[in-house]
A and B are shown apart, each in its own frame.
Chain A
Amino acid sequence: MKFVSHTLIAAAALLGAHAHAQVTVKDAWVRATVPQQKATGAFMRLDAAKDTRLVSASSPVTPVVEVHEMAMQDSVMRMRQIPALDVPAGKIVELKPGGYHVMLLDLKQQVKEGDTVPLTLVFEGKDGQRESVEVKAPVRALNASAQPAKAAGHGEHKH
């Protein structure tokens, strides 16, 4: 997987190109793992000023990060990688249990409650311009419920 290097290049190319992010990431969190559990999900809310798409994600905690969609069909849970997630302008797109998530695979170490997982999300606008947004997602307990973070829990979005 080459997400990390791609993202670094994209991020470098973008330095100075955009003074302000077009996409705001709110309430990001990662579900904790137990030792030797190799995968988990990251959840968040995306708010874009212009139509855009989440095209990739990366994290220093693993080389394998994918954008997934979960769907229940006839009570069977199916999880699939999707090539991109549309984020229409002005419409908050939620990544939450029961829908979309950023999947962290092949974890090298346990992700513990209270830790912070850096994520780089790469968005591509209609003009093909890429923008990457850095997020520091707090790790919530493995048994954290599906509810979004408290209303006061905004401000996890960092540059």
Chain B
Amino acid sequence: MTHTFPSTRRTLLLAAGAGAALTLAGCDRILPASFNGVDITGASYAQDFRLTDVEGRERTLADFKGKAVMMFFGFTQCPDVCPTALVRAAEIKRLLGTDGERLQVIFVTVDPERDLPVVLKAYTQAFDPSFIGLYGDLQKTAETAKAFKVFYKKVPTGSSYTMDHSAFSYVFDPKGKIRLVLRHEQSAQECAQDLRQILGTASA
């Protein structure tokens, strides 16, 4: 992707960056960024959602304007990937320091039949009191997953069932534009670097 902007601005920014590898952000333009995650800026999927929070309110992306939003799809009975992703999210928030207040972490359940609001609430808040859980009915869950290109599938196991699901975290910038997909393997440090760019607080 190429971006053009006045050369004076570029010079100033480069000077301010003092040769740092990190791209500076913080202006209206999307500067050439070097993310650890997958840059999906301009993608036509993962645009918005309309889901219910644990208090029964309908939430959309617009509710979180001014904050970067990091969204993860999972289920609370997941013993492994979901807690690991949410532990990482809490660590990212911590690494961002005071800027962490401008990060909203959202956990969307792909198992609304078992993840009742009371479970979702306690679960997300166990990782950080600011994290929120969202859910929809089966149809809305399927539509949301499709809109985000998230795969999930109910798989029987013994007398119960488990869920296969994508383990990506999606990141929106404070203006509500989809920017990044973070892979499960990326460290909290790598993710926090990316979030600093998204929040426009990357430093040299």
**Min C-beta distance of B6 to chain A, whole Å:** 39
Size category of the B interface is 20 to 34
Picked from A35, A76, A78, A142, the residue with its CB within 8 Å of the CB of B83 is A142
**Min C-beta distance of B110 to chain A, whole Å:** 11
Supposing A76-B167, A79-B80, A146-B84 touch, asked if A106 and B123 sit within 8 A by C-beta, the answer is no
Does B76 contact A41, Cβ atoms closer than 8 Å?
A: no
Give the residue name and chain of the A residue nearest to B165 (CB).
Answer: A77
CA distance A62 to B126 in the complex (A): 23
CA distance A101 to B155 in the complex (A): 17
A64 contacts the other chain (Cβ, under 8 Å)? Answer: yes
When each residue 43-67 of chain B gets 1 if its CB lies under 8 Å from chain A and 0 otherwise, what string results?
0000000000000000000000000
Interface centre among B76, B123, B162 (most CB of A within 10 A): B162
Does A101 contact B127, Cβ atoms closer than 8 Å?
A: no
Chain A residues, CB < 8 A from B189: none
Does B165 contact A41, Cβ atoms closer than 8 Å?
A: no
Interface residues of B in 79-135 (CB under 8 A from A): 79-81, 83-84, 86-87, 90, 114, 116, 118-119, 122-123, 126-127
A152 contacts the other chain (Cβ, under 8 Å)? Answer: no
CA distance A32 to B87 in the complex (A): 14
Chain A residues, CB < 8 A from B87: 143-146
Does B157 contact A80, Cβ atoms closer than 8 Å?
A: yes
A1 contacts the other chain (Cβ, under 8 Å)? Answer: yes
Supposing A142-B126, A143-B87 touch, asked if A37 and B76 sit within 8 A by C-beta, the answer is yes
Interface residues of A (CB under 8 A from B): 1, 31-32, 34-41, 64, 66, 68, 70, 72, 75-81, 97-98, 101, 103, 105-106, 141-146
Q: Contacts A1-B159, A68-B157, A70-B81 known; list 7 others, CB within 8 Å.
A: A38-B160, A72-B167, A75-B167, A76-B164, A77-B184, A106-B159, A143-B83
Q: What are 21 residue pairs bridging A and B, where the CB atoms are less than 8 Å apart in the complex?
A: A1-B158, A34-B126, A35-B118, A37-B76, A39-B160, A40-B79, A64-B160, A68-B79, A68-B157, A72-B167, A72-B184, A77-B81, A77-B184, A80-B157, A81-B158, A98-B81, A101-B79, A101-B80, A103-B157, A105-B160, A142-B126
8 closest residue pairs by CB, A with B: A41-B79, A34-B122, A39-B77, A77-B81, A142-B126, A97-B80, A78-B164, A77-B167
Interface residues of B (CB under 8 A from A): 76-81, 83-84, 86-87, 90, 114, 116, 118-119, 122-123, 126-127, 151, 155, 157-160, 162, 164-168, 183-184
